[in-house]
Amino acid sequence: MKTKDELTQDKYIVLFDGVCNFCNDSVRFIIKRDKNDLFRFASLQSSLGQKLTKERGIDTTKIDSIILIKPAEAYYIKSDAALNIAKKLSALYPLLSLFLVLPRGFRDFFYDIIARNRYKWFGKKEACPMPTPEERAKFLDF
């Protein structure tokens, strides 16, 4: 039987705010369009999420963001993370990665507006929702 490290060795790990409705809906959006089974997920609040951010020196008190960790230790935050995720999805979503040519500061300005207001606009849960049995295998912190 393979360990979690072996199962995720060639996967992209998406760290997300587990109590944010918008973030949880975004994870389900990604799962539905991840036809090549490239992504695994963990909440930032989980022990795994905290371990991965600490190993990479990511200060989560200053980053109110989704984090995409690529195989071989690279990572992306904010609009870089969102657009690099879109690049790997099915249908026309990879076209969104064209926005990567725009300056990061410009893209992150709009990203930060959504991030700062996500609880007000989309709501917040007291705890991370449970994934469906089909989704469970994609979550690393269960």
Query: How large is the angle between the packed helices 104-122 and 78-86, nearest 10 degrees?
Result: 90
- The DSSP code sequence of 16-47 is E-TTBHHHHHHHHHHHHH-TT--EEEEETTSH
Cα(114)–Cα(100) distance, integer angstroms: 18
Longest dimension (CA), the chain: 46
- pLDDT confidence bin for 117, thresholds 50/70/90: very high
Structure tokens at 126: 């007291």
Cα(98)–Cα(50) distance, integer angstroms: 31
Least confident of 5-19, 33-47, 70-84, 91-105: 5-19
Cα(58)–Cα(136) distance, integer angstroms: 26
- pLDDT confidence bin for 1, thresholds 50/70/90: very low
- Identify whether 141 is part of a domain: no
Write down the pLDDT at residue 97.
94
Write down the pLDDT at residue 2.
44
Domain count, the chain: 1
- Identify whether 142 is part of a domain: no
**What's the domain range around 65?**
4-136
- Identify whether 23 is part of a domain: yes
- pLDDT confidence bin for 135, thresholds 50/70/90: confident
Q: What is the mean pLDDT of the chain?
A: 88
Cα(66)–Cα(128) distance, integer angstroms: 15
Structure tokens at 46: 């989980």
Asked if residue 28 has pLDDT above 50, the reply is yes
- The CATH number that applies at residue 89 is 3.40.30
- Identify whether 115 is part of a domain: yes
Asked if residue 53 has pLDDT above 50, the reply is yes
pLDDT digits (tens, 9 = 90+) for 90-114: 999 999 999 999 999 999 999 999 9
Structure tokens at 108: 């992150």
Structure tokens at 95: 């076209």
| H or E element at residue 14 | strand 12-16
Q: Can you tell me which residue has the tokens 């469906």?
A: 132
